[in-house]
Amino acid sequence: MISSSSTTSSIKRALCLALGAVLLAGPAAGASRLDDLRAKAQAAIERRDPVTAEVMLRAAIKGGANEDELRAHLGEALLAEGDRTEARKVLEGGAFAPGTEALGWRVRGQIALAQGDFGAAAGAFNTALRANPNDSDLWVAIAALRFSGGEQLQSIEAADRAVALDPKNARALAFRGLLIREQYGLAAALPWFEAGLKVRPDDPALLGEYAATLGDMGDYRAMLIVCRKLAQVDPKNPRPAFLQAVLAARAGETDLARTILQRTGNAFRNMPAAILLTGVLEYRAGNTNVAVEQFDRLVRMQPDNLEARQMLLRAMSRQASDQPLVARFDADAAQPFAPPYTLRLVGESWRRLGNKARAEALLARAAHHSAHGPVPLPTEFGAAVLGSAYADAPNRAQTSVPYIRALLKEGRKDEAQAVADRLRDSNPGAAEAHLLAGDVRTIRGDATGALADYQNGASIRFNEPVLRRMDATLRALGRARDADSMTSRYLAQNPQSLLAMKLLAAAWAREPRRDAYLAISRALAARGQPDPVQ
């Protein structure tokens, strides 16, 4: 290796600065020359060469151009390089020249959003809107802010506005595609990504989302073609390797998947999906200690992720770490929603530890497990304690959700419903708020009211958690045909959804639809899934 990428960029920057100083020597650039310079810098950023944009702009400033005239574009170039600190320093170092205010404030907002400061991002975007309310890229940024803040419906509205303002804006088309994927399904999103790629066929972000969507649909041949294209246009992009590792893992090629995943280095070290994949691959390879470390990281990041907890339990069971296992998971086994797998593994650990009474109780529950309605997840504190935090911020999920769980645990269902409804009404664009209100209604036995909440949530974001709730509620209301139709449509949009397959298999096994049941059972078996009704 001759030099690092950062060294290469530094050399390129120095050469360009030297050349720029020669070309731009003399009197300060006039208005037409500044406009031409901004256009060239913008073009360099668009072709993913922000270093060239930066050095051209710095050379012009060094040659006498007013920094305020180029401040917004220089900040955008630095942000495109990934240098948020320097970009923020430049953008906050002075004013923006007339005509560049919208860009400057938009980039300031994008930096704040990337740093998780939603309030500062909103303020910057509002200022940018006052300067130019018809900037399509600005509306894409606003859509991203709203989605990150849980305002999914408002995010859709902003993305629609961005596309309406510029139907050929590839960023707007890509983001609308992401939202369509959440709202309607994988198949519905593909045309949006394809439309964006017609405008910018070499855009790495678009290619990455297109490849991921194809892979999730099971179209692996097309996914690999797109991954190869992405690797060609952006050789340092780690996403093609990650997607190919996922594909190899799905095919059961554990060693190959591990080898490919290692090529991504630390690029996805803190991404939950990558942590889960790493843990699964290490578990398959027999590296149980490493698998436990990965699953433990994921559980600490997402303590309510039941899948991650199951994987950690399974890995610790293989370790034969009985004492740590029961210390970690006996509380899970005590919950009424504990699945048979959890009950069995915790029970077996108690038996090896000599606590036969506890072991037999858990193993008996595992052997005679029956379906149950929804129950709230446990909370560490009671309603009296959590109510104080809720009173200070009653419209925020961080305080409302634990309080609702505590109220339900204490049997105060009507109060829990009032809190859930207030959260929903205060956040009408958040699908999860509608689901929460529906869950409390389900616990209270109001299936009709719950279905209305679930349908409102599904109109914003229709994913597997929504599908599971709506399928169960429709069947509880005696609307099996509607449930079958809805779940079939979901499967058509998301053909690799194991949940949709299992729901349909369980439903059709009880009806005179034996041929359809056998077909979907074979599809599940091909994916290594047991028959859901046996």
Please tell me the number of Cα atoms within 13 Å of 321 on its side-chain side: 14
How many angstroms separate the CA atoms of 519 and 248, rounded?
25
Whether the Cβ atoms of residue 226 and residue 211 lie closer than 8 Å to each other: yes
pLDDT of residue 380: 78
Q: Is the domain of 453 the same as that of 344?
A: no
Q: Is the domain of 354 the same as that of 391?
A: no
How many angstroms separate the CA atoms of 159 and 154, rounded?
9
How many angstroms separate the CA atoms of 142 and 161, rounded?
10
Q: Is the domain of 398 the same as that of 512?
A: no
Angle at 82 between CA 78 and CA 208, to 5 degrees: 125
Asked if residue 152 is part of any domain, the answer here is no
Of 401, 427, 461, the residue that ends a domain is 461
Query: Residue 487: which domain range?
Result: 471-534
Two tokens at 456? 């409102």
Asked if residue 230 is part of any domain, the answer here is no
Query: Tell me, what CATH number does 432's domain have?
Result: 1.25.40.10
Q: Is the domain of 342 the same as that of 398?
A: no
Q: Is the domain of 493 the same as that of 385?
A: no
What domain count does the chain have? 4
Q: Is the domain of 103 the same as that of 45?
A: yes
The sign one gets for the Cα dihedral 377, 380, 385, 390 is: negative
pLDDT digits (tens), the chain, 534 positions: 333 444 445 544 554 544 444 444 344 446 678 889 999 999 999 988 999 999 999 999 998 899 999 999 999 999 999 999 999 999 999 999 999 999 999 999 999 999 999 999 999 999 999 999 999 999 999 999 999 999 999 999 999 999 999 999 999 999 999 999 999 999 999 999 999 999 999 999 999 999 999 999 999 999 999 999 999 999 999 999 999 999 999 889 999 999 999 999 999 999 999 999 999 999 999 999 999 999 999 999 998 888 899 999 999 999 988 999 999 999 999 988 888 999 999 999 999 999 999 999 999 999 887 666 677 777 878 899 999 999 999 999 999 999 999 999 999 999 999 999 999 999 999 999 999 999 999 999 999 999 999 999 999 999 999 999 999 999 999 999 999 999 999 999 999 999 999 999 988 887 677 788 888 888 888 877 776 665
Q: Is the domain of 448 the same as that of 495?
A: no
How many angstroms separate the CA atoms of 457 and 59, rounded?
52
State in Å, rounded, how far the first CA of the chain is from the last one: 58
Q: What is the pTM of this model?
A: 0.85
Q: Is the domain of 484 the same as that of 391?
A: no
Burial of 159 (0-12, 13-18, 19+ CB in 10 A): buried
Asked if residue 103 is part of any domain, the answer here is yes
Asked if residue 445 is part of any domain, the answer here is yes
pLDDT of residue 3: 36
pLDDT of residue 6: 46
Of 98, 114, 133, the residue that ends a domain is 133
Of 419, 435, 461, the residue that ends a domain is 461
Q: Is the domain of 411 the same as that of 449?
A: yes
Q: Is the domain of 6 the same as that of 129?
A: yes
Q: Is the domain of 119 the same as that of 3?
A: yes
Asked if residue 209 is part of any domain, the answer here is no
Q: Is the domain of 484 the same as that of 407?
A: no
Whether the Cβ atoms of residue 150 and residue 158 lie closer than 8 Å to each other: no
Asked if residue 216 is part of any domain, the answer here is no
Asked if residue 26 is part of any domain, the answer here is yes
